Amino acid sequence: METIGYIASLLIGISLGLIGGGGSILTVPVMVYLFGLQPLLATSYSLFVVGSTSLVGAFNNLRRGLVNMKAALLFGASSIVTVFLTRKFLVPAIPKTIVTIGGVPVTESLLTMVLFALLMLIASISMIRNKNVQAEDEESKNSIRFDKLVVYGVAIGLVTGLLGAGGGFLLIPALVLLLKLPMKRAIGTSLMIIALNSLIGFTGDLGHFSMDWFFLLKVTLIAITGIFIGGALGKKIQGERLKKGFGWFVLVMGVYIILKETILK
C-alpha cells in the first residue's frame, strides 16, 4: 500500500499544479488508508505536505505576478491566528471518546474522518458545478466587506486547523467576491494563504505529535515534484474539464469514507 501512497502523493501535487487546488483534500485519506496513520496525526502531516507544496506553487505564481500579497496577508490574518490556536489548543483537547450513542462510542478518529468526508462532498460539489465566480463591477469595487472577510478567515482557519485541508475551494470564491480579485490572481493568492495557514498551523503541532521527518519530507518532495509536472501539463490540458472530473472522483471518495467509517466498519 505504501507504493500506492507515494503514487497518490505525486497525484496530489499534479492536481495542485493543474487546477490550483483540490489535491490537498486527498492528503488525509492517503495518509490514513494508504500509509496507515491515525487520523489526527494524518491531519498534522497533511498541514506540512499541503503547506510546503502550496508554497512552491505560490512562488511560481508570484514570479508571474499572480499573487496579491496584500490580499494574502489581509485575508490570512484571521485565518492564520485561528488555525494556529486550533492546532495548539483545541485539537490536543479533543478526548479519545467524544460521546457514546446507543452504546456505540464516537471516537476522535471516527469523527475526524466523517467530518473530512463531509468536507470532501462539499468540495466535490463545488468542483462539479464548475460555476465561474466573477467579481462585481464598478459600483461595488469600494464596498469590500471587512467584517465578512474576518468571518470567512476564521471559518477557513477552523477547517484547516481541524481537518488539515487547505480549503482552496472556499478561498477562491471569497477572494473573488470579497476582494474583487481576477480569477487567476485569486488562485495564486489562494495558494499563498493555504501555504501560510498550513505551515503556521503545523508549528502548533510541534510537541504534541512525534514526527517521522524522513517520511514526511519524502512525501512532501514527491508532492512538490507533482506540482511541477502539473504546471507543465496545465499548459497543454484544459484545467476546467479536469476540475470537474476530479470533483467526481472526490465525491466517490467522500461517500466511500463515510460508508467505511460507519456502515462497513
Distance CA 13, CA 198 (A): 15
pLDDT (0 to 100) of residue 48: 94
CB 224 within 8 A of CB 52: yes
Q: Dump pLDDT digits (tens) for 95-137.
A: 989 988 877 888 989 999 999 899 889 888 887 876 555 554 4
What three-state secondary structure class fits 106?
A: strand
Q: How far is CA 3 from the centre of its chain?
A: 23
Q: For residue 27, give Cα distances in angstroms to 5, 33, 107, 218.
A: 10, 10, 21, 14
Q: Dump pLDDT digits (tens) for 194-238.
A: 888 889 889 888 888 889 999 999 999 999 998 888 878 877 776
Q: How many domains does the chain have?
A: 1
- Side chain identity, residue 244: K
Beta strands in the chain (DSSP E): 97-101, 104-107
The domain in which residue 98 lies consists of 2-261
CB 79 within 8 A of CB 153: yes
Report the pLDDT averaged over residues 232-259. 81
